[in-house]
Chain A
Amino acid sequence: MTDRLAVRKTSKLYLGGAFPRSESGRTYAVTDARGAFLANAAWASRKDARDAVVAARGAFAKWSGATAYNRGQVLYRVAEVMEGRQAQFCEEVAAGEGLSAGRARAVVDAAVDRWVWYAGWTDKLASVLGSANPVAGPFFDFSTPEPTGVVAVLAPQRSSLLGLVSVLAPVLAGGNTAVVVTSRDRPLPAVTLGEVLATSDVPGGVVNLLTGDAGEIGPWLAEHDDVDAIDLTGAPPAQAMELERLAAGSIKRVLRPPAEEPDWSADPGLSRMTPFLETKTVWHPIGL
Chain B
Amino acid sequence: MANPFEYAPAPESRSIVDVAPSYGLFVDGEFVDGSGETLKTVNPATEEVLSEVAVGTEADVDRAVRAARRAYTRVWGPMRPADRGKYLFRIARILQERAREFAVLESLDNGKPIRESRDVDVPLAAAHFFHHAGWADKLAYAGLGPDPRPHGVAGQVIPWNFPLLMLAWKVAPALATGNTVVLKPAETTPLTALLFAQVCQQADLPPGVVNVVTGAGETGRAVVEHADVDKVAFTGSTEVGRSIARAVAGTRKVLTLELGGKAANIVFDDAPVDQAVEGIVRGIFFNQGHVCCAGSRLLVQESVHDEVIASLQRRIGTLRVGDPLDKNTDIGAINSHQQLERIRELVGIGEAEGAQRWQPACDLPDRGYWFPPTVFTDVSPAHRIARDEVFGPVLSVLTFRTPDEAVAKANNTTYGLSAGVWTEKGSRILAIADRLRAGVVWANTFNQFDPTSPFGGYKQSGYGREGGRQGLAAYLKGASH
A residues adjacent to B (C-beta < 8 A)? 65, 128-129, 131, 133-137, 139, 141, 143, 148-149, 225, 228, 240-242, 244-245, 247-251, 253-254, 269-271, 273-274, 277-285
Inter-chain contact A281/B455, CB cutoff 8 Å: yes
Total A-B Cβ pairs within 8 A: 122
Interface contact A141-B439, CB-CB below 8 Å: no
Considering the chains assembled together, what is the distance between the CA atoms of A242 and B241 in angstroms?
17
Knowing A228-B459, A280-B438, A283-B442 are in contact, say whether A251-B242 is a contact too (CB < 8 A). yes
Given contacts A135-B452, A136-B450, A279-B470, contact A285 B249 (CB under 8 A): no
Asked whether, in the complex, the Cβ of B454 is within 8 Å of the Cβ of A248, the reply is no
Within the complex, which residue of A131, A228, A244, A273 is in contact with B470, where a contact is CB–CB below 8 Å? Answer: A131
Binary flags per residue of B426-466, CB closer than 8 Å to A gives 1, else 0: 00010001010111111111001010111110111111010
Judge if B480 is at the interface, Cβ distance under 8 Å. Answer: yes
B74 at the binding interface (Cβ < 8 Å): no
Task: Return chain B residues, CB-CB under 8 Å to A284.
Answer: 429, 443-445
Question: Which chain B residue shows the least CB distance to A280?
Answer: B439
Given A141-B450, A141-B453, A281-B454, A269 contacting B246 (CB threshold 8 A): no
Decide if B249 touches A241 in the complex (CB within 8 Å). Answer: yes
CB pair A143 B480 closer than 8 Å: no
Given contacts A143-B454, A240-B250, A249-B242, whether A283 and B448 have CB atoms under 8 Å apart is: yes
* Given contacts A248-B245, A274-B480, A139 and B445 within 8 Å (CB-CB): yes
Q: Which residues of chain B have C-beta atoms less than 8 A from A240's C-beta?
A: 250
- Interface residues in B13-63 (C-beta closer than 8 Å to A): none
Q: For A249, A251, A273, A274, which residue has the most chain B Cβ atoms within 10 angstroms? A: A251
Supplied contacts A253-B463, A283-B448, 16 more A-B pairs, CB within 8 Å: A129-B143, A131-B469, A133-B454, A133-B468, A148-B458, A225-B414, A240-B250, A248-B242, A250-B459, A251-B242, A279-B439, A280-B439, A280-B441, A281-B440, A281-B455, A284-B445
CB pair A270 B480 closer than 8 Å: yes
Give the docked Cα–Cα distance between A2 and B243 (Å).
64
Q: Could you tell me the distance between the alpha carbons of A136 and B461 in the complex, rounded to whole angstroms?
A: 26
23 A-B pairs in the complex with CB atoms less than 8 angstroms apart: A131-B454, A131-B468, A136-B450, A136-B452, A137-B448, A141-B450, A141-B452, A244-B249, A247-B249, A248-B242, A278-B439, A279-B439, A280-B440, A281-B440, A281-B453, A281-B454, A281-B455, A281-B468, A282-B442, A282-B443, A283-B440, A283-B445, A284-B429
CA distance A283 to B246 in the complex (A): 34
Is B238 on the interface with A (CB-CB < 8 A)? yes
Which applies to chain B's interface (DSSP): helix, strand, loop or mixed? mixed
Pairwise interchain contact B459-A269, C-beta atoms closer than 8 A: no
Do A251 and B259 contact each other (CB < 8 Å), given the known contacts A282-B433, A282-B441, A284-B429? yes
CA distance A281 to B468 in the complex (A): 11
A177 to chain B, nearest CB (A): 14
| Among A131, A149, A277, A280, residue most surrounded by chain B Cβ atoms (within 10 Å) | A280
Chain B residues 236 to 288 lying within 8 A of chain A, measured CB to CB, are 238, 241-243, 245-246, 249-250, 257, 259
Bound CA span A273–B480, Å: 9
- Measured between beta carbons, the chain A residues less than 8 angstroms from B455 are 281
Alpha-carbon separation in the docked complex, A12 to B392 (Å): 53
B478 within 8 A of A: yes
Q: Does B481 contact A (CB under 8 A)?
A: yes
- Chain B contacts to A: CB under 8 angstroms: 127, 143, 238, 241-243, 245-246, 249-250, 257, 259, 414, 429, 433, 435, 437-445, 448, 450, 452-456, 458-463, 465, 468-470, 473, 478, 480-481
CA of A247 to CA of B250 in the docked complex: distance in angstroms? 12
> Could you tell me the distance between the alpha carbons of A251 and B458 in the complex, rounded to whole angstroms?
10
Provided the pairs A133-B450, A133-B468 are in contact, do residues A251 and B257 lie with their beta carbons within 8 angstroms? yes
Alpha-carbon gap, A273 to B245, bound state (A)? 21
Residues of chain B contacted by A282 (CB below 8 angstroms): 433, 440-443
**Which residues of chain B have C-beta atoms less than 8 A from A137's C-beta?**
448, 450
Specify the main secondary structure of chain A where it touches its partner.
mixed
Once the chains are docked, how many angstroms separate the CA of A240 from the CA of B429? 42
Q: Kindly name the residue among B127, B450, B453 whose own CB sees the greatest number of chain A CB atoms within 10 A.
A: B453
- Contacts A141-B453, A143-B454, A285-B443 given; indicate if A135 touches B448 (C-beta within 8 A): yes
Interchain CA distance A247-B257 in the complex, whole Å: 14
B478 close to A281 (CB less than 8 A):
no
Is B470 touching A283 in the complex (CB atoms < 8 A)?
no
Taking a contact as CB atoms under 8 Å apart, the answer to whether A245 and B250 are in contact is yes
Beta-carbon nearest neighbor of B249 in chain A: A244
Check B465–A251 contact: CB distance below 8 A: no
Q: Is the CB of B245 within 8 A of A281?
A: no
CB contact between B481 and one of A228, A249, A279 (< 8 Å): that residue: A279
Residues of A within 8 A of B468 (CB): 131, 133, 143, 281
Q: Are B443 and A283 in contact (CB under 8 A)?
A: yes
Known contacts A137-B448, A279-B456; is A248 also within 8 Å of B246 by CB?
yes
User: Contact between B441 and A281 (Cβ–Cβ < 8 Å)?
Assistant: yes
Does B452 contact A134, Cβ atoms closer than 8 Å? yes
Inter-chain CA distance A139–B448, complex, in Å, is 10
Q: Name the residue on B nearest A142 (C-beta).
A: B453
Complex interface: chain A residues within 8 A of B473 (CB): 274
Contacts of B440 in A (CB 8 A): 280-283
By Cβ-Cβ distance, the 7 closest A-B pairs, closest first, are: A241-B250, A248-B245, A244-B249, A135-B450, A270-B480, A274-B480, A245-B249
Alpha-carbon distance between A240 and B433 when the two chains are bound, in angstroms = 36
Q: What's the nearest-Cβ distance from chain A to residue B276, in Å?
A: 13
Q: Quote the shortest CB–CB distance from A161 to chain B (angstroms).
A: 25
Task: Tell whether, in the assembled complex, residue A274 and residue B481 are in contact, meaning their CB atoms are under 8 Å apart.
Answer: yes
Q: Return chain A residues, CB-CB under 8 Å to B456.
A: 279
Q: Distance (Å) between the CB of B253 and the closest chain A CB? A: 11
Tell me whether A248 and B249 are in contact in the complex, defined as CB-CB below 8 angstroms, given that A139-B445, A279-B465 are known contacts. yes
Contacts of B238 on A, CB cut-off 8 Å?
251
State how many angstroms separate the Cβ of B434 from the closest Cβ of chain A: 8
Cβ–Cβ contact B442 & A136, under 8 A: no
A254 contacts which chain B residues (CB < 8 A)?
Answer: 249
* Residue of A65, A131, A271 touching B478 (CB-CB under 8 A): A271
B369 shortest CB reach to chain A, Å: 30
Interfacial chain A residues near B448, Cβ < 8 Å: 135, 137, 139, 283
Using Cβ atoms and an 8 Å threshold, which residues of chain A touch B442?
Answer: 282-283
CA of A281 to CA of B455, assembled, Å: 7
A282 to B460, CA, bound (A): 20
B462 to chain A, nearest CB (A): 6
CB-nearest residue of chain A relative to B450?
A135
In the complex, A242→B242 CA distance in Å?
A: 14
The answer to whether A281 and B445 touch across the interface, beta carbons within 8 angstroms, is no
**Contact residues in B for A228 (Cβ distance below 8 Å):** 459
A149 neighbours in B (Cβ, 8 Å): 437, 459
**Chain A residues positioned under 8 Å from B241 (CB to CB):** 251
Bound-state CA distance A20–B127 (Å) is 57
Known A-B contacts A136-B450, A281-B439; the reply to A245 vs B246 at CB < 8 A is yes
> How long is the Cα–Cα vector from A285 to B445 in the complex, in angstroms?
7
Tell me, rounded to whole Å, the shortest Cβ–Cβ distance linking B165 to chain A.
15
